[in-house]
Amino acid sequence: MRRLVVLVAALLLVIGCTADGDADATTDETTAPVDETTQPADETTETTESAASTEPAEPVAVETEDELYAVPDPLPEGEHGDLVRYQEIVPSEIDAARTYRVMYLSESLEGEPIVVTGTVIVPTAEAPADGRTVLTIAHGTTGIADECAPSKGGGGAELAIAGPAVERGWIVAITDYEGLGTPGRHPYLVGESEGRGVIDAVLAAGQLPDAERRATTLIGGYSQGGHGALWANEVAGEWAPDLDVVGTFAGAPATELDVILAAAGTPGVAGFAALIVAGFEAAYPEADPATILTDEGVAALGAVDEGCIGDVFGALAGVDLIRPEGPSAEPWPELARDNNPGQVVTDDPILIIHSAQDDVVPVALSEILFDRMCGEGQAAERRVLADGGGHGAAAVVAYPQALEWFDLLLAGETVENTCP
Query: pLDDT tens across 349-376, in order?
Result: 999 999 999 988 999 999 999 999 999 9
Could you tell me the pTM of the whole model?
0.88
Pairing label, strands 213-222, 132-138 = parallel
Please tell me the distance from the alpha carbon of residue 160 to that of residue 163, in angstroms, as a whole number: 7
Q: Are strands 213-222 and 171-175 parallel, antiparallel or unpaired?
A: unpaired
Of 140, 139, 110, 134, the C-alpha closest to 122 is: 134
What's the CA gap between 375 and 61, in Å, rounded?
A: 48
In the three-class reduction of DSSP (H, G, I as helix; E, B as strand; rest coil), residue 251 is classed as: strand
pLDDT digits (tens, 9 = 90+) for 209-264: 999 999 999 999 999 999 999 999 999 999 999 999 999 999 999 999 999 888 88
- pLDDT in the model for residue 269: 64
Instruction: Report whether 354 contacts 382 (CB < 8 A).
Output: yes
Q: Is 189 left (phi over 0), alpha (psi -120 to 50) or beta?
A: left
What pLDDT score does 270 carry? 67
